[in-house]
Amino acid sequence: MLNIKDLHVSVGDKEIVKGLNLEIKAGETHAIMGLNGAGKSTLAAAIAGRDDYEVTSGSIEFGGKDMLALEPHERVGEGLFLGFQYPVEIPGVSNLNFLRTALNSVRKYRGEAEMSAAEFMKLVREKAKALNMDPEMLKRFVNVGFSGGEKKRNEMVQMAVLDPKLAILDETDSGLDIDALKTVAEGINTQRRKDTAILLITHYQRLLSYVQPDVVHVMIDGRIVKSGGKELALELEEKGYADVA
Amino acid sequence: MQDELTTGYSAQAAALKGTVPGADDLRAQAMTDFGTHGFPHARAEDWRYSDLKALRANVYAPAEAPEAMPTIPASMGDTAARFVFVNGRYQEDLSDLGDLWQAASIRPLANHFTSNAARLDELVRGEDGVSLLNTALLRDGMVISVPAGVEVDDPVEIVHVMTEAAGRAAHLRHVIELGEGAKLSVFERFIGDDSAYWQNIILQARIAEGANLGHIRLQEEGASALHTAKVYANVDAVGEYRCANMTAGGKMARFEAHVRLLGEEAHATVDGVALTATGQVHDTLTHVNHVVPFATSDQIFRTVADARGKTSFAGKVTVAKDAQKTAADQSFKALVFDRTAEANAKPELEIFADDVKCSHGATVGELDAKAIFYLTSRGIDPVTARRMLVEAFTAGALERVAFDEIRDAMMDRIGTWMATRADRAIPEVREA
């Protein structure tokens, strides 16, 4: 589903990702672990197509398509989703308006008809309920005044509504208390299906107790230096990055 | 040039003698004052952002009836009445008095003073060349008087159209009078073709105790137009003046609101949105004068300027020595699409009382690149993302528009305006 070959990404003059290879198949959940500055978030941003993250060489293929040739919103249309480490506050835009515009944009990209207001409300209420989100929060401005946990929960609602083929979740577990962590993990597990894939980016093992990955990668200095099963995460937690790598 | 202007406009004033019975002396006086003052100097503090070059260089002839009557746009929602002015003249055929005539007195300005000579004193004479000329060249306008206790729910729409009027001007004067406890909403629209005309208009309102005037303006003049507008509102105790202005059209447009809160617990809101495209100059000036204690005012202005657009806001609040317990707020925010756009803000508090609550804030910024990426990362294309952010930015200044159809139409204008600059406003992402 996702195929990254010899990827190099620079921010400004600085190369952050230095020749990374990664393949994720449908039905799989992968975790990339690494310390701050290893290039994990840069990798996520490059896959999503953020403007100033320059791919200097290598390729990103998703569903057989060259992602680097597509704009960020088109990549979402193809079925990609990036959960943010720091979700952005957007005063003046309500969560509902945001979700509805997003969903209909994606449907339009796929040549599908817009969803009616009633159908949309039903869908959103259902997804919000499954993630224990107070329906009142749907009426509020996007992430404005939300706690850290509420923001991450909101990311999960967006993911559930857009129903991506591949969700890349960048430090979605950071700053969450145990209840919020469980809710987020539940959201991720609901999204795990035979036809979807998940890429978790984290530097703690904590989330992986609730969302068990099929493959764990260790990222150091812009490269994946080791891959293994879910036991690799535990090993990392125990011995630290220096010893494992 | 001043001599030519004075001579030219004096001749126009002389030709209008008798058209507004009772007003000839007033006209002559204003003309004399115009001769003395001329147009405001480019360096005059209140006028430094308005471009009056065209006014200083040309004598604008009086606008005349066009060869072809323009199409008048449909109303936005229900109206209590509809008055149409084309090239500065009232068009009875195109207007609709609705039910308003049963509730209120409606007179053309020309008849206003024939039976009310005393009313002449109430006419604002003007304090600069632009408003003095409006007085000197008085001819047409609508006088609406709502008796005490009468509430008119639907808005009264006044449509101003300018067409085939290159080098010509209209000087309109509307007078609104609300009796005690009366209620009225006036929705003014301004449209025009591409001819380089000058629309110079004054609306003056007297709002008696407990009365309530809503005033909505949608200015979409033609691309070459010069638009100068002033509002003078005097508000008595517990009375309210609520203004929402959208400035979008014209090559150079200036809107002034002068509000005097003359009775305790009088309240004014003066809000506005300006959409300033490439090459346009939009200037807004407000002056809210708290004369007595316990009056309140609140102003929200949002302006968006595209490349090489120039937009400015000067908001002055005066609190008299006796006006204790005044509460006055003012918020001005500008969004510029790049460094060539210009947004000027000049909030000014002039407070002589010591027990007041006054605040003001002014910011100028660019669209938030992180917010744009967030929206696009959810599948929303960048053009729509920018439109959503601009709509969100401006919406707060239109929230107090009490009529959904009008507010929606104004929000639509913002969406359309953004759609025409789809390729603009792509800021660089800067790392936090």
Q: Under an 8 A CB cutoff, do A88 and B371 touch?
A: yes
| Nearest chain B residue to A75, by CA | B379
A105·B384 Cβ contact <8 A: yes
**Rounded to whole angstroms, how far apart are CA atoms B162 and B198?**
9
pLDDT category, B276, cuts 50, 70, 90? Answer: very high
Residue B81 CA to residue A213 CA, distance in Å, equals 69
- Residue B429 near chain A (CB below 8 Å): yes
Mean of per-residue pLDDT scores for chain A: 92
- State the best of B304, B378, B387, B393 to mutate against chain A, taking most chain A CBs within 10 Å: B378
Measured in angstroms, the CA of A154 and the nearest CA of chain B are apart by 12
What integer pLDDT is reported at residue B430 of this predicted model? 42
Which of B376, B384, B431 to substitute to test the interface with A, most A CBs within 10 Å? B376
Which residues in chain A are contacts of B411 at CB distance < 8 A?
Answer: none
What is the rounded average pLDDT of the residues B90-97?
94
Under the banding of pLDDT at 50, 70 and 90, the label for residue B122 is confident
Dump pLDDT digits (tens) for B334-382.
999 888 999 999 999 999 999 999 999 999 999 999 999 999 999 999 9
Confidence (pTM): 0.91
- Give the CA count within 13 Å in the CB-facing half-sphere of B76: 24
Instruction: Read off the pLDDT band of B431 (50, 70, 90).
Output: very low
pLDDT of B35 over the 60 cut: yes
Q: State phi, psi for B419 to the nearest 5 degrees.
A: -65, -30
Could you tell me which residues come within 8 angstroms of residue A192 by beta carbon, excluding any fewer than 6 positions away?
Answer: A29, A198, A211
Interface membership of B392 toward A (CB under 8 Å): yes
Contact state of A90 with B391 under an 8 Å Cβ cutoff: no
In this predicted structure, the answer to whether residue B156 has a pLDDT above a threshold of 50 is yes
pLDDT on residue B432: 36
Q: CA B95, CA B105: separation in Å to the nearest integer?
A: 16
Closest residue to A72, CB basis, from B371, B377, B389: B377
Q: Which of B379, B391, B428 sits opposite A109 (nearest CB)?
A: B379
Decide if B381 and A158 are in contact by the 8 Å CB cutoff: no
| Residue B411, token pair as written in the block | 């929000």
pLDDT value, residue B424: 57
Closest-CA residue of A relative to B371 is A88
Encoding tokens for residue A154?
Answer: 């909101």
Q: To the nearest whole percent, how much of chain A has pLDDT over 70?
A: 100
> Does the pLDDT of residue A118 top 80, yes or no?
yes
Helix, strand, or coil (residue A233): helix
Q: Which residue is closest to A87 within chain B, CA to CA?
A: B374
The pLDDT tens digits for A14-41 are 999 999 999 999 999 999 998 888 999 9
Among the partner-chain residues A52, A106, A162, the one whose CB lies closest to the CB of B429 is A52
With bands split at pLDDT 50, 70 and 90, how would you rate the model's confidence at B428? very low
Confidence tier at A56 by pLDDT (50, 70, 90): very high
pLDDT tens digits, A68-91: 999 999 999 999 999 998 999 999
- Among the partner-chain residues A76, A97, A103, the one whose CB lies closest to the CB of B377 is A76
Quick: pLDDT tens for B245-275: 999 999 999 999 999 999 999 999 999 999 9
Determine contact, residues B274/B249, Cβ cutoff 8 Å: no
